[in-house]
Structure 1
Amino acid sequence: MRVKEVADLVGISVRTLHHYDEIGLLVPEKITETGYRLYSDDNVEVLQQILFFKELGFPLKKIKEIISSPSFNREEALELHRKMLLEKRSRLDKMIATIDKTIKHSRGEIQMSNKEKFEGFDFSHNPYEQEARERWGDKAVDEANAKIGKSKEEQEAMSDAMNAIYRKLATLRNDSPESEEAQAAIKEWFDFLNKMGNYSLDAFKGLGQMYVDDERFTKNIDQFGDGLAKFMCDAMAVYADKNKKQK
């Protein structure tokens, strides 16, 4: 199949397929003398795998690493996709039910408790912990976890403080990341992170870059305001560079 046929079959743009080819994620079976990309059935199967990973929030760089690995097993990956999608569906079903109940509550048809208003939301686990362990090692993550309050009340207070900083930064996201207000707020974020772990200025700057490189982080942070992840990335880089010069 030619690139346009694949794009129409899947429902993605030709430009997306060109991009996947350019970064070596999905290279067509052959290119004709006239420059047409031709895709095989094997290419289509790989594309399906890529889009499953993408649906689950994996960044393209990580997808390429996974499917290029000699140990990659397509059937095992599909089983994992299925499990993760079922879990995602379960969470979404709960949230849809909560929305339906909230609509009825707003109309005065039923009464909802405060607890019922948040059914389906789950912030009790850290979806990035395993990735953090792979990036920085078990010791760093264990030390960070040890610094987090063990009681439920302490964990809730920590979560509230974190969300407050996100909300503050979200109100500044259309300003310059170099502004005095932005740098004061991003310092709060730096200080907060160092209550849980041990972040050098370089690590802080690297974390900010991850906010835009990893689609999962971007999506999570931008819930507080579109463009917040990019703003935080820029502000964190400014903060790190500025404070390294002062040392």
Structure 2
Amino acid sequence: MEFPSQIKQQSCMDCLSGQSLGFEIRMAFQPIIDWQTRQVAGYEALVRGPLGEGAGWVFERINEQNKYYFDQACRVKAIETASRLGLDKMLSINFLPNAVYNPETCIRATIEAADMFGFDIRNIMFEVTESEQIVDHKKLLKIFDSYAKRGFITAIDDFGSGYADLSWLESLRPRVLKLDMGLIRDIHQHPAKQQLVANVQRLCLEMGTEVLAEGIEQQAELDYLAGAGIRYFQGYYFARPALEQLTRAEEIAALQQR
């Protein structure tokens, strides 16, 4: 049995309506910056409530009974909104590994949504948060393997904030590793953080994994990390998440000049 019998795969329209959750979800988008080219490389889709309420408001309403629906709904809503906004770059979607009953079922839902809304699946990146304790490590390995084989980009989010370590990183071998903002904060002033990031960079280089530093809020943090060889960045220094909007490179440049 792929997943509990009382749970059925939702259609794209079911996911968009929010009927299975009992409330509508919307998406905010935060740009991911390629500092080498000074361009937007893609956007992370971040869940919001019907009136733009933050992720905390949404997650207070997620439980064991609806988390599978929620995971599917987030995928579909992110793809539908990104397509409607004309996004033709990478779209990063968070997923809950403990809510994925069978990766192939979720892949089918993702492909169905991409086909329906005309979004290139090669531009989709799936992030698993490192701060969520993984109940079944073998299951997550299977999920990552399934996604990679189908052409999706795989990523670990918030690395350095919780349960993962370098050996776990080596097992998963994601295409992208996102360093947690707690590790990034004031890194230019903390030799211990600098050493940890350097260790992670060496391992990622060996695996062919791209490092992305998230949570950038200061020029000094950006300067240090760019000088250390990191190419991709995300954070309030560039732009805050915008509800159903894509912040463009020229707008980001204008914000930085204020």
**Shorter-chain TM-score above 0.5:** no
Q: Which has the bigger relative contact order, CA under 8 A and spacing at least 6? A: 2
User: Going by fraction, where is strand more abundant, 1 or 2?
Assistant: 2
When Rg is computed on C-alpha atoms for both structures, the one with the higher figure is: 1
Provide TM-score, normalisation by structure 1.
0.28
